[in-house]
Amino acid sequence: MFIDTHTHLFSDSFDEDRNEVVQRAIQSGVELCLLPNIDVDTIDAMHKLELKYPKNCFSMMGLHPGYVDERWEDKLEIIKKNLFSRKYIAVGEIGMDLYWDKTHIDAQREVFKKQVEWAKELKIPIAIHARDAFQEIYEVLDVLDDENLSGVFHCFTGTLEDVNKIAGYHNFKLGIGGVLTYKNAKLDLVIKDVPIDQLILETDSPYLSPTPHRGKRNESSYLLHIAEKLADIYGLPLSEIERQTTETAKKLFNLPT
């Protein structure tokens, strides 16, 4: 069994064929799909999908940094209300994103910090979105990291220095997605010496499709292309990549065994 630890199957990109996409994932061996929330407007769709596939889909709750705007305080209140109303597997997708715009950098930092604190209070992991913002995220984690905090740097595309920095925290994994299969990404060179038990697999669908589907809509069944590339890099059979990454994901997110 493979686990897609980061997929937005509730996205309107799947409105026409969502059930078929979920079935393809299950049939390909990707039996568990973890759903990171994005904004206050995506909560209902995510919950409906989880309700339909209670053995396969598991929700996170969080406010994505790309949706931090002038209404961030109201949004964060809704996220908090949901987060503390029931059990979620993680607080996510949270973090900082300074790629497009730095207008709300202070708000992003505050929103990230608050959500990290809630995760610690609830003793559940965080799923971090870091785009052009590793240093800013480290500044928050350097203060808040302790034995009550765990999580994943989702869609990791950092440097060897980032690998070493993250390894210094208490319990953080690297989420490896489709970028690993891109020829010019050089991510294989960065992670080749990272212990396999520090990695988990993800698609981030509908985004970042792996080769040979690059440029098309991504889906959870494509996780196998990422796993195969990882098997190549580590010189391990696919079954061992499956075993190790599944075990790590189950432990991190406290998933049913």
DSSP states along 203-232: --TTSSPPTTSTTS---GGGHHHHHHHHHH
Give me the sheet containing 30-35, strands edge to edge.
2-4, 30-35, 57-59
Q: List the alpha helices (DSSP H) in 55-201.
A: 72-83, 105-122, 134-144, 160-167, 187-191
Q: Are 64 and 38 in contact (CB under 8 A)?
A: yes
pLDDT at 33: 98
In which residue are the tokens 């294989």 written?
188
Tally the domains of the chain.
1
Question: Which domain does 142 fall in, by range?
Answer: 2-253
Q: From CA 104, how far away is CA 66, in angstroms rounded?
A: 9
pLDDT at 162: 98
**pLDDT-flagged residues of the chain (< 50):** none
Tell me the CATH number at 96.
3.20.20.140
Q: Kindly list the distances between the CA atom of residue 99 and the CA atoms of 6, 71, 103, 130, in Å, as whole numbers in the listed order.
A: 20, 20, 11, 10
φ, ψ dihedrals at 96, nearest 5°: -140, 145
pLDDT at 257: 75
* H or E element at residue 239: helix 238-253
Helix (H, G, I), strand (E, B) or coil at 244: helix
pLDDT at 230: 98
- Structure pTM? 0.98
